[in-house]
Chain A
Amino acid sequence: MSADVLVPFDEVLEKFDPALGLEVHVELNTASKMFCGCPTEFGAEPNTQVCPTCLGLPGAMPVVNRTAVESAIRIGLALNCEIAEWCRFARKNYFYPDMPKNFQTSQYDEPIAFNGFMDVEVDGETFRVEIERAHMEEDTGKSLHVGGATGRIHGADYSLVDYNRAGIPLIEIVTRPIVGAGERAPAIAKAYVAQLRDLIVALGVSDARMDQGSIRADVNLSLSPKGSGTLGTRTETKNVNSLRSVERAVRYEMSRHAAVLDEGRSILQETRHWHEDTGITTSGREKSDAEDYRYFPEPDLVPVAPSREWVDELRGTLPENPTQKRARLQAAWGFSDLEMRDTVGAGALGLVEDTIAAGAAPQAARKWWLSDMARRANEAGVELTALAVTPLDVARVQALVDEGKLNDKLARQVFDGLLAGEGTPDEIVAARGLAIVSDDGALGTAVDNAIAANPDVAAKIRDGKVAAAGALIGAVMKEMRGQADAGRVRELILEKLA
Chain B
Amino acid sequence: MSGAKSGAAALRSGFGSTRDLLPRWAWILIFLALALLFPYVVPEILSGGSGDDLLDASVNTLGYVIMALGLNIVVGFAGLLDLGYVAFYAFGAFVVGWLGSGQFEGVNLDFITDVPSTLPGIHVNFVVIVIVAAAFTGIWGVILGAPTLRLRGDYLAIVTLAFGEIVPRVFENWEYVSNGRQGITPIDRVYFPGVGELNYPIELEGIYYVGLAMVLITLFVNIRMRDSRLGRAWIAVREDEVAAAAMGVNLVRTKLWAYAVGAAFGGFAGAFLGAYRNTVNVDQFEFGFSVFILCMIIVGGMGNVAGVILGAIALSMLDRFVLPQLNDIPDKIGLSFDLTAVNFGIFGFFLLVMMVLRPEGFIPSTRRRLELHSGDEVGDAAADRSAEVAPGEALYEARH
A and B associate: no
Binding site for B on A (CB under 8 A): none
